[in-house]
Amino acid sequence: MINQHMQNLAARFWEECGYEEPFPRSLECVILRAKPSLAIISLPRLSPAAVHALLARRGHVVALNTAERWLNGCFYACKDLSFIFVEESLSAEWRRAVIAHEFGHYLAHYETPRRRVSRRLGPGILPIVDGERRATGAEELSAGLAGLRIESYVHFMDRNADGTYVEPVSQAEREADDLGLELLAPWRAVFAAIRGNGRWPGVPADWERTLVSHFGFPHSLASYYGDRLLGSARGRLTFSQALGL
């Protein structure tokens, strides 16, 4: 099941939008209307070097100390400006999935911490979060008493030699995955669609087919998410249902 905090963030986003995009969701137009300071940029042969070069041309000098590799997506934020970069050659299905994941980073790891710090400690604390100055001792004490972290943002691009995530990158990526999935296909909506097919809880192929046809997922992602939701659905069966009675 999707992490409850990620469910709440997705619900808050749609509430702030004033409506929910029908399925299958592209998210792109909705995001750009709701977050005017966020840009979505397509680049061919997306890589850390390509991101670095584009940001430099726009006056953002960023030190990305990470190994060069091909990327499907990337999120960058600085002060009130933020960018989602997407590999230009992606299919429409993968494009929406990548944008959802990167927007998950925006909501969970940029906007939400920024709002929390500003609300609890005041907007004067934001230059610390933006890396413009160091926190004073009094500010560090206030943040500690409030249970907040006021350090500047970090990137989550580091990987192990085999391509797997390092901590805390792994946790951040799981959160972005969950939030992206909940934005594209809320688990309750998927459950309702499966129930509507009259085959509850069904088999993996039912879930994959529904996620592809109704929610616009690429097949491999639909298989992963479908298996995950099916496991949760089976856990919700009554004893009689589990016995097929």
Predicted confidence at residue 239, as pLDDT, reads 38
Q: Is there a contact between 217 and 243 (Cβ–Cβ < 8 Å)?
A: no
Residues in CB range of 230: below 8 A, 6 or more apart? 201, 202, 203, 204, 207
Measured N-to-C along each axis, helices 169-184 and 4-17 cross at an angle, to the nearest 10 degrees, of: 50
pLDDT at 237 over 70: no
114 vs 96, which has greater pLDDT? 96
Tens digit of pLDDT for each residue in 78-95? Answer: 777 789 999 999 999 999
Tens digit of pLDDT for each residue in 156-210? Answer: 555 555 555 555 567 888 999 999 999 999 999 999 999 998 888 889 999 999 9
Q: With bands split at pLDDT 50, 70 and 90, how would you rate the model's confidence at 72?
A: very high
Tens digit of pLDDT for each residue in 136-170? Answer: 666 665 666 556 565 555 555 555 555 555 555 67
Mean pLDDT computed over 48-55: 89
Q: Give the C-alpha separation, 54 to 168, whole Å.
A: 27
Q: With bands split at pLDDT 50, 70 and 90, how would you rate the model's confidence at 240?
A: very low
pLDDT at 211 over 50: yes
Domain map (residue ranges) of the chain: 4-184
Structure tokens at 71: 């990327």
The amino acid sitting at 228 is R
Predicted confidence at residue 245, as pLDDT, reads 41
Radius of gyration, alpha carbons of the chain: 20
Q: Is there a contact between 90 and 103 (Cβ–Cβ < 8 Å)?
A: no
Mean pLDDT computed over 14-41: 95
CA distances to 5, 22, 162, 211 from 107, in Å: 11, 20, 28, 23
Predicted confidence at residue 156, as pLDDT, reads 55
Predicted confidence at residue 119, as pLDDT, reads 73
Q: With bands split at pLDDT 50, 70 and 90, how would you rate the model's confidence at 69?
A: confident
* 119 membership: H or E segment, kind and range: helix 112-121
Q: Is there a contact between 11 and 183 (Cβ–Cβ < 8 Å)?
A: no
Neighbours of 228 (CB within 10 A): 16
Q: Is there a contact between 150 and 121 (Cβ–Cβ < 8 Å)?
A: yes
> What string of DSSP letters covers 66-81?
S-----SEEEEEETTE
Mean pLDDT computed over 55-69: 79
- Output helix, strand, coil percentages for the chain, rounded to the nearest 5: 55, 10, 35
Q: Give the C-alpha separation, 217 to 24, whole Å.
A: 8
Q: Give the C-alpha separation, 222 to 228, whole Å.
A: 10
Q: Give the C-alpha separation, 97 to 86, whole Å.
A: 10
Predicted confidence at residue 155, as pLDDT, reads 54
Among candidate residues 18, 52, 37, 30, the one with its CA nearest the CA of residue 183: 30
64 vs 111, which has greater pLDDT? 111
* Mean pLDDT of all residues belonging to the chain: 83
Predicted confidence at residue 158, as pLDDT, reads 57
Q: With bands split at pLDDT 50, 70 and 90, how would you rate the model's confidence at 243?
A: very low
pTM, two decimal places: 0.85
Predicted confidence at residue 125, as pLDDT, reads 67
Predicted confidence at residue 169, as pLDDT, reads 64
62 vs 83, which has greater pLDDT? 83
